[in-house]
Amino acid sequence: MSARIGVVTFPGSLDDRDAQRAIRLAGAEPVALWHGDHDLQGADAVVLPGGFSYGDYLRCGAIAAQAPIMHEIVEAANAGMPVLGICNGFQILVEAHLLPGGLIRNSQGSFVCRDQTLRVENATTAWTHGFSAGDEITVPLKNGEGGFIADAETLARLEGEGLVAFRYVGVNPNGSLNDIAGLTNERGNVVGLMPHPEHATEPGFGPDTPSAMRSGVDGLTFFRSVIERTLAAA
């Protein structure tokens, strides 16, 4: 039986279908979850997709973090279920206090859309163990409020405990402190990042690589990592 990975749709989610497609391409069964339900439908893992939930009102991700299904997600995440937050999903994880710090408007003040090189800093998480630490990968990045900040104490703890999962390489597109692109929690089951691995999962539709245009599929490893782990543990 293939692993079942839930994707939550909030009002204003954009990339829920793309995340479902990435999960299918990686070999698992995507399960559509609804923000207003109190039901994870037996999913083995959950993805919070990108978009602009609630029009980014109040703060990005802040209202979605109050959604009914977040009660079950926080509970399951604290019990070890793998959760991946992409872009707005990362903002929701931060607002739900599953990951520390905050995300603010890009330092240069504008929306950024580019193929972004990242360095994998922590290859021991549920979503990254298919990588090796130090790997450089390229996935699309598209956001207006992706600047990661945290107080000095939190930042020192993140660095000291190896909780920085991904760092921007070459260009820091949004002014994130320490070039932080993504984080994991201590247990390694919750990962959040601003760039979009689900948009780099199928040849012909991904970022450009030196070998061919739009051939980049580095994002597939996120989903394969969790599928192998989920299946292995099941």
Partner 1 sequence: MIVVEVMPKAELLDPAGKAVATALAKRGDGEFTAVRIGKRFELHVDEVTDAVLAKAQHLADELLSNAVIEDVVRVYVADAVAEDALA
| Residues recognised as catalytic | 87, 196, 198
157 binds partner 1 (CB under 8 A): no
Q: Which of the residues 38 through 97 are near partner 1 (CB under 8 A)? A: 58-59, 62, 66, 94-95
What Rg do the C-alpha atoms of the chain give, in angstroms?
16
Q: Give the interface size with partner 1 as a residue count (CB under 8 A).
A: 17
Length of the chain: 234
Per-residue interface string for the shown chain with partner 1, residues 99-138, x marking contact by CB under 8 A: -xxx-xx-x-x-----------------------------
**Member of 74, 112, 149, 177 binding partner 1 (CB under 8 A):** 149
Strands (E) across 121-179 are located at: 136-143, 147-149, 164-168
Question: What is the x/- site pattern for partner 1, positions 203-232, by CB under 8 A?
Answer: ------------------------------
Task: Give the burial class of 97: count Cβ atoms within 10 A of its Cβ; 0-12 exposed, 13-18 middle, 19 or more buried.
Answer: exposed
Name 84's Cβ contacts closer than 8 Å, sequence gap at least 6. 45, 46, 47, 48, 127, 191, 192, 222, 226
Give yes or no for residue 18 binding partner 1 (CB under 8 A).
no
Q: Which of 37, 151, 159, 161 forms a contact with partner 1 (CB under 8 A)? A: 151
Residue with tokens 């190896």: 162
> In the complex with partner 1, which residue's Cβ is closer, 11 or 27?
11
